[in-house]
Each structure stands twice: as structure tokens, then as C-alpha cells.
């Protein structure tokens, strides 16, 4: 996974969810983030990657290149208790490995980890299409 931007924060949602309840939480979280992105262009570069842990908590990381830690907490902490911790440069790989290790992630029966993961990728800026110039026809 090639993720650029930053800073990166380790995120933990202090909830207790089952695999079945995680499906509903994932939809609600995606709706909140989509609403934030419609309200403010600064949220469009934001990225969130979350996995359901075996203990029912949600752990992962966020990339906040254009919003502050306080803005992130203001956007999501009203609905769910959440904590952030800055991931040191070069420490993201170790953090992700710790979060998704086989003993930590919620057990699933099939489809690998799709049922226990939420990924909200940053939106890319739309490129302006160059208009084609046509030469006038000779008369």
C-alpha cells in the first residue's frame, strides 16, 4: 500500500463492536466523512484505515495532511470516543503490522479481512482538461 501525505496518527475508537455491528459502524463513519468532505475541501485529502480488533475496538491510522488533530477530533469524537497519537516518521509500517497481526485482528470466517476493515482513501484532485484548440478553416 503506497500512502503519501501526513502527518500520520495512530487512531483508536473506544467502542465494543462485533463483526456484525462493525458493518453498521462502517456505514455511519463513511457517511460522516463524506459529509465532512462535502462541507470542506480540506477533508478531501484526509485518509482513514481502520481494522476491527479481536477485543471489539477499532484501531488503525489516519493521514491528516490538511486538517489538524483538533479538527479530526471535532469531526468524529462527537459520535464515538476516539484517541489519536502521532506516529513518528518511519514508524507507520510497524504500527500497521501491530494492528493487523493475526492475534490482534478480529477473527473472520472468509473473504480475508474485508469484513473487518474500513479504508477511506484520500481523494485525488481533479485535473483540468485542456480544451482543444482548432485552427480556423481556410476560406
List the grid coordinates of 75. Answer: 469531526
- Cα–Cα distance, 28 to 44 (Å, whole number): 18
Residue with cell 459502524: 25
Name the more confident of 139 and 71. Answer: 71
DSSP structure class, residue 89? T
Average pLDDT, the chain: 82
SS3 53: strand
pLDDT tens-digit series, residues 33-54? 999 999 988 888 888 999 999 8
Amino acid at each position: 500500500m503506497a500512502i503519501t501525505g501526513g502527518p500520520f496518527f495512530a487512531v483508536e475508537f473506544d467502542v465494543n463492536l462485533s463483526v456484525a455491528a462493525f458493518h453498521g459502524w462502517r456505514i455511519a463513519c463513511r457517511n460522516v466523512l463524506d459529509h465532512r468532505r462535502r462541507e470542506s475541501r480540506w477533508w478531501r485529502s484526509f485518509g482513514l484505515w481502520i481494522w476491527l480488533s479481536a477485543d471489539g475496538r477499532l484501531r488503525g491510522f489516519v493521514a491528516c495532511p490538511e486538517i489538524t488533530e483538533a479538527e479530526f477530533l471535532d469531526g468524529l469524537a462527537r459520535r464515538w470516543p476516539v484517541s489519536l497519537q502521532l506516529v513518528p516518521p518511519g514508524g507507520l509500517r510497524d504500527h500497521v503490522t501491530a494492528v493487523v497481526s493475526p492475534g490482534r485482528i478480529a477473527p473472520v470466517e472468509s473473504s480475508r479481512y474485508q469484513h473487518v476493515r474500513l479504508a477511506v482513501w484520500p481523494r485525488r484532485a481533479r485535473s483540468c482538461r485542456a480544451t482543444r484548440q482548432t485552427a480556423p478553416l481556410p476560406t
